[in-house]
Amino acid sequence: MSRIYDPTSKNIQKAAELLRAGALVAMPTETVYGLACDAANSEAVARLYAAKDRPQFNPLIAHICDLETAKHEGVFNQGALGLAHQVWPGPLTLVTPLAPTHTVCDLARAGLSSIALRVPAHPVARALLTAFGGPLVAPSANPSGQISPTSAAHVAKDMGDKVDFILDGGACEIGLESTIISCLSDTPQILRYGAYQAPDIFFAEQDKRKPDAPGALSRHYAPKATLRLNAAYPEGKEAYLGFGPALIHSTLNLSEAGNLNEAAANLFHMLRRLDETWPAIAVAPIPKTGLGLAINDRLTRAATRESISHD
């Protein structure tokens, strides 16, 4: 049974320690309660997707303690800097190009070369980020498709023993997700409307030109190589991305033990590595259960080169 803890400095240190060991910790933010884990630890991120029962790998928001630290993860243009100075700490997420010094893992970014960053305002989230000392991904602490939690009791009820530790910061002030603004080009563009109300003049033109469904803007990582799925063996000039005990030679293997968690953690960086040198990739069958659903979803989209929408 999951336990709820008061945000004393001792409990915050304990939560930071657990996060360093790869645990899932629920933390209050001013928007909603987030299910946090070490953004640099792909095994922990895979557990987080599994705990939320997400059938897709959507890129996650990396929560950071301050702008200076955020600059290690993303490249801030003038627009991004202006918005960060104006709103952070606060309910605004900025999407920027990935910085060469980034630590956030491929799986947390769903393989993208951009990154979503936010400095939250809630004192408990800030204390935890400072104690932890690195970025935390923290999507809403509820199973996929359910309502976002705004109290520690909601989290305990919704996530049960899938969450290792819950920090109780009282009821969330805002109760609405952060606004997401892309700063990938010189003109910032709203990807999701949320708790921060962006000035109209700034964004009105784009919005008229391109009415976007919330969060549906970003394209996902698509390999240059062609992908063939459910392949029993490679043909011609194909690399083979295996899964499970190697009966035939795999160029790379997502998980020799046939562990879906390990396969999810390896998926994006292995695809990237193969894509660097091979024109075509054949992928072994992956079971369509648990995290296997998200892995198959991502592979299918990569094979058909579709963009995907987010929840």
**Residues of the shown chain interacting with Mg ion in the complex, contacts defined by CB under 5 A:** 140, 148
Q: Which two tokens stand for residue 58?
A: 């959507």
Q: Are 15 and 165 spatial neighbours (Cβ–Cβ below 8 Å)? A: yes
Beta pairing partners, 136 = 38, 63
Q: Least distance to ligand AMP from the beta carbon of 136, Å?
A: 12
Does 108 contact ligand AMP by CB under 6 A? no
Q: What's the closest the beta carbon of residue 87 comes to ligand AMP, in angstroms?
A: 16
Counting contacts by CB under 6 A, is residue 114 touching ligand AMP? Answer: yes
Q: Is the Cβ of residue 116 or residue 239 nearer to ligand AMP in the bound state?
A: 116
Among 177, 238, 262, 275, binds ligand AMP (CB under 6 A): 177
Name the DSSP class of 74: B
Residue 134 found at the interface with ligand AMP (CB under 6 A): no
One-letter amino acid for residue 177 of the chain: E
115 binds, among Mg ion, ligand AMP, none (CB under 5 to 8 A by kind): ligand AMP
Instruction: Return d(Cα 79, Cα 226) in angstroms, integer.
Output: 36
Does position 181 bind ligand AMP by CB under 6 A?
no
Interface with ligand AMP, residue 174, by CB under 6 A: no
Q: Binding ligand AMP by CB under 6 A: which of 74, 139, 149, 234?
A: 139
Is the Cβ–Cβ distance between 119 and 15 less than 8 Å?
Answer: no
Q: Which residue, among 125, 19, 104, has the nearest Cα to 62 in the 3D structure?
A: 104
Provide the token pair at 270. Answer: 């292995």
Binding segment for ligand AMP among 112-120, 226-234, 261-269, 273-281 (CB under 6 A)? 112-120
List Cβ neighbours of 33 (8 Å cut-off, separation of 6 or more): 26, 27, 140, 141, 148, 149, 150, 151, 152, 154, 155, 172
- Position with the least CB separation from Mg ion: 140
41 binds ligand AMP (CB under 6 A): no
Q: At CA 40, angle to CA 38 and CA 41, rounded to 5?
A: 70
Give yes or no for residue 28 binding ligand AMP (CB under 6 A): no
The single-letter DSSP state of residue 140 is B
3-state secondary structure 252-285: EECCCCCCHHHHHHHHHHHHHHHHHHCCEEEECC
Which residue, 42 or 140, is less far from Mg ion as judged by CB? 140
Q: Cβ closer to ligand AMP: 7 or 34?
A: 34
Q: Compute the distance between CA of residue 164 and CA of residue 63 in angstroms, rounded to an integer.
A: 19
Q: Which is nearer to ligand AMP, 49 or 278 (CB)?
A: 49
Q: Give whole-number Cα distances, 285 to 271, 296, 299, in Å.
A: 15, 9, 11
User: What is the smallest separation between the CB atom of 242 and Mg ion, expressed in angstroms?
Assistant: 34
Considering only 7, 215, 234, 242, the residue that binds ligand AMP (CB under 6 A) is 215
Residue type, 33: Y
Q: Is 95 in the site for ligand AMP (CB under 6 A)?
A: yes
What's the rounded Cα separation, in Å, for the pair 166 and 155?
A: 8
| Least Å from the CB of residue 234 to ligand AMP | 31
Only segment of 54-62, 69-77, 80-88, 267-275 that touches ligand AMP (CB under 6 A) = 54-62
Q: Which does 111 bind (CB under 5 to 8 A by kind): Mg ion, ligand AMP, none?
A: none
> Is the bond into 149 cis (omega within 30 degrees of 0)?
no
293 C-beta neighbours (distance < 10 Å), count: 17
Residues binding ligand AMP (CB under 6 A): 58-61, 95, 109, 112, 114-116, 139-140, 177, 180, 191-192, 215, 218, 310
